[in-house]
């Protein structure tokens, strides 16, 4: 590998790393951009729900982002939303059949409204229909993966806390927890948790920035 190729590879790797960290944490799709909050508020009550919605989001966002990064610029702007919505709908139809037939009828009954809504989720339309169209496949897929992981991290943490405190279970299994607050299953509790996590993220970013500034000063 020549020196020029090494520099190009290093630059590409650095760009992908920056895109990943920005989408996953620094500009988290939920905590910073407030996108994808509705399913967290409504059904992010058990860890199972959170994991299933995370997997479904990944199943839609990753192929949609790849498709739009490859072909999006060749399509008229007005045609892009219906195309990736139809693509997402077909993917989620398959996911719904799998959940209902092979995993759990009860889980499907809980999520059946939110599975089709994932096809038109702002998270999908914003990342696949906006960011991916104007970026190369590697960058678009990195952003899609990081955005999905950022969403998954938030919904799984919120869901696990709400399930443990409100229901006294985790993944449907009873746990020993002295505190029991049934109201944690209500949407306002998710708002409080999201607000706390968002504030913690902002504090962490400020602390890192102050430390970096102090090092530059000395």
**Average pLDDT for the chain:** 83
4 confidence band (pLDDT: 50, 70, 90):
very low
Q: Which one has a higher pLDDT value, 174 or 56? A: 174
Q: What pLDDT shows up at residue 46?
A: 95
Q: In angstroms, rounded to a whole number, what is the distance separating the alpha carbons of residues 100 and 89?
A: 16
* pLDDT tens per residue, range 72-120: 788 887 787 777 778 877 888 888 888 888 888 888 888 877 776 676 6
Q: In angstroms, rounded to a whole number, what is the distance separating the alpha carbons of residues 13 and 21?
A: 12
7 confidence band (pLDDT: 50, 70, 90):
very low
Q: What pLDDT shows up at residue 81?
A: 74
Query: What does DSSP assign to residue 33?
Result: T
Q: In angstroms, rounded to a whole number, what is the distance separating the alpha carbons of residues 5 and 13?
A: 12
- Tell me the percentage of the chain whose pLDDT exceeds 90: 35
Question: Residue ranges per domain, the chain?
Answer: 32-217
Q: In angstroms, rounded to a whole number, what is the distance separating the alpha carbons of residues 131 and 145?
A: 13
- Tell me the percentage of the chain whose pLDDT exceeds 70: 87
* pLDDT tens per residue, range 132-185: 777 888 998 999 899 999 999 999 999 999 999 999 999 999 998 888 999 999
Q: In angstroms, rounded to a whole number, what is the distance separating the alpha carbons of residues 132 and 72?
A: 8
Q: Which one has a higher pLDDT value, 121 or 29? A: 29
Contact predicate 139/20, CB 8 Å: no
Query: What does DSSP assign to residue 45?
Result: T
């Amino acid at each position: 590998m020549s020196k020029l190729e090494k520099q190009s590879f290093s630059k590409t790797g650095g760009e992908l790393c920056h895109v990943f960290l920005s989408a996953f944490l620094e500009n988290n799709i939920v905590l910073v951009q407030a996108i994808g909050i509705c399913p967290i508020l409504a059904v992010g009550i058990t860890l199972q729900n959170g994991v299933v919605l995370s997997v479904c989001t990944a199943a839609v966002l990753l192929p949609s982002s790849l498709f739009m990064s490859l072909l999006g610029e060749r399509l008229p702007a007005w045609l892009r939303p219906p195309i990736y919505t139809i693509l997402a709908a077909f993917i989620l139809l398959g996911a719904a059949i799998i959940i209902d037939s092979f995993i759990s009828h009860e889980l499907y009954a809980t999520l059946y409204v939110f599975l089709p809504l994932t096809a038109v989720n702002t998270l999908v339309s914003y990342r696949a229909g906006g960011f991916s169209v104007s970026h190369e496949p590697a960058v678009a897929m990195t952003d899609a993966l990081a955005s999905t992981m950022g969403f998954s991290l938030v919904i799984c943490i919120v869901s696990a806390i709400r399930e443990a405190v409100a229901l006294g279970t985790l993944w449907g299994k009873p746990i020993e927890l002295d505190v029991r607050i049934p109201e944690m299953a209500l949407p306002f509790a998710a708002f409080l948790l999201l607000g706390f996590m968002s504030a913690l993220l902002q504090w962490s970013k400020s602390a890192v920035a102050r430390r970096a500034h102090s090092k530059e000063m000395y």
